[in-house]
A and B are shown apart, each in its own frame.
Chain A
Amino acid sequence: MIRLWLKQILAERYGRALGTAIGLALTVALFCTLGAFVTSASGAMTAHAVASVPVDWQVLVAPGADPMAIAQAIGSAAPPKELQAIGYAESAGFSAVTGETSQKTGPGKVLGIASDYYDRFPGQIQLLLGSLDGVLIAQQTAANLHVGPGDLVTIERIGASATQVTVAGVVALPNADAMFQAVGAPKGTAPQAPPDNVLIVPMPQWRTLFAPQAARSDTVRTEFHVRLDHTSLPPDPSAAFVQVQQMANNLEARVAGSAAVGNNLAAALDTARQDALYAQVLFLFLGTPGLVLAILFTLAVAAAGADRRRREQALLRLRGASLLQLIRLAGAEAMLVGLVGIMLGLALTQLTTLAWLPAGGAGYSLVWLPLVALTGLTVATAAFVLPAWREASQSTVSAARAQVAKKTCPLWQRLYLDLVCLTAAALAFWYTANSGYNIILATEGVTQVSVHYEAFIAPALLWLGSSLLWMRLTRLALGPGRAAVRIAIAPLAAGLTRIISASLARQHPRMAHGVALVALAFAFATSTAVFNTTYNAQSRVDAALTNGADVTVTGTATHQIGQLLADLRRISGVADAEPMMHRFAYVGSDLQDIFGIDPTQIGKATSLVDAYFDNHDVGRTLELLRQTRDGILVSEETVSDFQLQLGDTINLRLQDARDHQYHVVPFRFIGIVREFPTAPKDSFLVANASYLAEVTGGSAADIVLMRTVADPSAVAAAARTIVTAVPGAKVTTLGETQALISSNLTAVSLYGLTNIELAFAILMIGGTAGLVLALGLSERRQSFAVLTALGAKRRHRRAFLWSEGLLIVAGGTILGLVAGLGLTKVLVSILAGVFDPPPETLSIPWMYLGATVAGALVCSAAAIMIVEAHLEEPDLEMLRSG
C-alpha cells in the first residue's frame, strides 16, 4: 500500500512533492550554512587571536629566585616553542645634548634583549630609523630628547653613577602595553600605562650596565618571554582560553611563588571568546528568524497541498483505512520528501560554503550534518504526519472533505495574542534599553563569559506579535475591510470584482498565511539588509574619523611634513589640503593629544559634522574657537575626569620647540568635542593652531588632511612620492582605513552572516511569492477548469489569478518592509555594542530592497503565468472527476 501511495505521489503529484522538498532544502541549507559559518568563525577567531600575540607569556622571575629553575618549570608546564630571558631595569631618567640645548626626560626603562629576539618574537619591536645592531631608543623618547642614530644618551642609573650609550636605531614598540605590563599585579588592578621613555640595549651590555644596580632588586628584574606550541589549542576560543589559563595556573603552582605569569595569549583569547559570543549572538538575533522562516516556508509549501491531501485521506477513511495506516502513508511521504530535501539542501550547502567560507570551510558543514538531517526529517514529519494525525483523529470525514474552511476565529485572535505580544515586546525593549546593559559580559579574571539572554525577549515577541498581527490585518481586510480590497483589485478584476473579492474572503485563512509568510520573508530580508548597511555606514564614519580625510599624510615628531604642504596641494585631484598640528600636552599628570587647527580652513579638507560637538553645531563651535585665541575644545572624557566647567582656564604643560622643555600654558575651555578627525576615542584637545604655534615656538604641522576630487588611491600614490624623503611619514586613504576596520572579527562575522542571510532571503522571497502562490493556485485547478468550461476568457482567468497574487505579494511586501524597519531599530538598539560609533539613524539599502521587491514581483508573475498557461484548455479529466 505504501509503495502504491508513493508511486502515485511520484506519478501524479511530483510537482507538489518537489516543491516541498525544495522548501525543505532551503531550511537544511540555511541551517547547515549558518552552523558551518559559526563553527568556522570560532576557529578563525582563535587563529586570529593567537597570531596577534607576539609573546604568549611574560614570566616574571621573583627577586632571589633561580631563573634556570623557572625556565625548567616553564618547559614542564607547557613545552615552549620559544623561550628567552629579558632584562628590565628602572632608570631615573635619560638626557641628551643636541646642538646648543640639553633635554632631560622623566623616569624610564632600559630593556636588555638577546640579539636574536627580533627574529624569535617578530612584531614586538619595529625599526623606524638606523640599525637594530646596538642601542635602540623608543620613538617618543627620541622625540623628547631630540636624538637619532649616532647621538649619545645619558642613562641615570638608580644607586649608581650615570652612564652613556650611543643610539643605533629608533624603534616603535607596538605591543608596549603588554611588554611593560605589571606582571603579577592583583586581579582588578587598573592596567599600567607603558613608560614614556624606553631604551633597549643588547643583553651583555645591559648586564654590565646594571650590575651596579643589582643591589636594588626592586629596580632590576628578569622576565622570560615565551611562545607556546599552538598546535594543541582547541579551535573554540573559549576552550582555548581555558586551556591556556590552566597551563599558566599549572606553571604558577610548580614555581610556588617564585614567578608570576603575564598571560598575553589568554588575554587575547579572552577578547576572541567575547567576539565569538558576539558572532553567536548575531547568529541568534539575525539567523534564528531566517531559520524559522525557512521552516515556515517548508510547512507552507506542504500546506499548499493540504486540502487535496485532506480530501484524499478522507476518502481512504471512508474506505476503511485506520488511523495507523493513514499515519504510515503520511510518514512514507514525509520520509520521501524529507530525504530528497535533505540531499538537495546538502548540495546547496556545499555551494554556499564554497562561496562564503574560507578554503576548507565546507568541511565545517559536516559537523552539523546529524543535527541538520534530524531537523529536516522533523520538519517533513511536521508537514505531513501531524496534519494527517490531526485530521484523522479530530475531524469528521465530512469536515475533512469540505473545500472551504468554516468561518472560525482562531484562539490567538480571540485572545488578542498579537497585541499582547507586541505590548510585551515594547515593555521588554524599554526595560532592556534603559537598564544600561552589555549584551556580552566578560568579567576580567572570570573564566565564563555571560550573555544577556533577556535581550532576546523583545525581538522574539516582536517577530511573533508582528506575524500574528499580519494575519489579523489580512482577515480584517478580507472581512470588514473588503471594500478596500475591492478598490485595490478593481483595475484587474473589472466586472468580476465583487465575485473575486468574495472568493478571496472565503479563503481568508490561506490568504492570511500567504500574506504573513511573504511579510515574514520581507521583514527578514529588510531587517538583515538594513542592519548590515547601517553597520557598514558606521564603519565608514569610524574610518572617516580614524583617517581624518580622503587622504591623510602623517609625519613624525622629529620629521614633520607641513613644509611639503604646497607640493601636496599641487597633486592632481586634490580639492584642498589643510595642515593640522599634533602635539602632546599634560592635563594634570595625564599626557593627551592636542590638535592645532585653523577653524576657518579645516572644513575644506575634512568633513566635520554637528554630531562631533556637544552643542550639535559645528559652525557655531568653530566660529567660537576662531574668536577665542586661547580657546580650547575638550573631549567629554577629560571634561568628566577633571570636572571642568565652560569658561574655566585650563593650564596645560606643552613642550617648547625652542628649549625642548615643558612649560605651563593657559587655555580657556570653550566647548566639548566628542569626536575629531584622527583623534583618539577617549581623551584629546583641539585648539587654534596659531595660538599653539605661538606658545610652543613652532608652527610645523604633523598632519596634512586632503580632500580629493579624483581617485584617492592615485592621490595617495602621488603623495607618497612627495613624502618619500621624510622618514616615518605615512600616507593613508579612507578606503584603506575602512578595509582595516572591516577586518575586525565582529565585522568579518557580520559580513559572512549577512551575506549568507541576504542570499537566502532573496531565495525565500522568491519561494514564498512564487512557489507557494503557484502551488496554491495549482491546487485549485478544478475551479479554474470550471471557470474555463463556463466560457471564461484569458482576461477573466487573469482577473482571478492576478487579484490573488496582488493581494498576497503587495500586502506581504508592504507589511514586511514596515515591520522590517521596526525590527531593525530594535536590533540596532539591542546590539549597540557592535556599532562604533552607535548610529543616529538607520541606513536603508534601497538597491537591495528594490531587488527583493522586484524579485518577488517577477517570481509571483512567473508563477501566475505558468499556472495561466496550463489553463488555456479546460482540464476535462478534472471536470469529469470532480
Chain B
Amino acid sequence: MTTLLEVIDIRAGYGEADILNGLTLTLSDNEIAVIIGPNGAGKSTLMKAIFGLVSVHGGDIRFAGQVISGRRADQIAKLGLSYVPQERNVFASMTVHENLEMGAYLLRAGLRDHLSRVYDLFPQLQERRNQIAGTLSGGERQMLAMGRALMLDPRLLLLDEPTAALAPRYVAETFERIREIRSQGIGVLMVEQNARQALAVADRGIVLVMGQNRFEDSGPKLLANREIAEMYLGG
C-alpha cells in the first residue's frame, strides 16, 4: 500500500467563505474510503477542492507525491484522478458513446480496449450506446457517469453521492460495481448519504463535521460505534 492522495490542513470554499477548515486526510491506493457527515459539512466541497473547482485558500493537496492544488482540472485529470460529480455528471446533449469518448479525451490510442472494459462493467451502456444521455434513466445515467470517469484508467476515483438519485434496486448494484472497480486496483473516495450500506463496503470511513474530519476508522468499526451511529447514521 502506498499513499495516493494527501489532503493537508486544507481551507477552501466558495468565494471568500471557507467551508473546509483545516481538513486533513490521506488515502492509499486499492482502498475504498467513505466520507459521511451531516449536510453542509463540506463533503462535496472537498471533492471540488481536490479538482480545483472551488477556491482553495490554504493547505496542500498532493496526488501521487505531486502538489495538485492550484493546477487546472484538465492537468489533474492527466495525473490519473477521476471525478464523478453528484449532479450534471453526464453530457446530456451527447450520446452514451460520445460521453465515453469524452472520458477518454486525453487518451492517444487504445480507445477500443478502454471502451470494451467499461462496457463489460456496465453492459446496459452498450445496448444504449447511441442514445442521447439526457434521455437515460437515473440509474443508467449514474452508470454512464461512472463509466466516463473510468475511461482513462484512473488510479483514484472520486464519487460524489453515487446513489443519491437512485431507485433502491440500483443502490446495491452500484455498491457492487464500486467493489469491482476497487478490485481492478483503483482507489475510491466517495461521499455517501446511504451511510450504512456505503460503510459496509468501505475499508475506511471518515466522519466530516463542520469542515473538519471528526472520526476516522475502518468501515465496520464505525458502523459498530454507537455514538457515531446515533449521531450520523440515523440511530
Q: Do A and B bind each other?
A: no
Spell out A's residues near B (CB within 8 Å).
Answer: none
Spell out B's residues near A (CB within 8 Å).
Answer: none
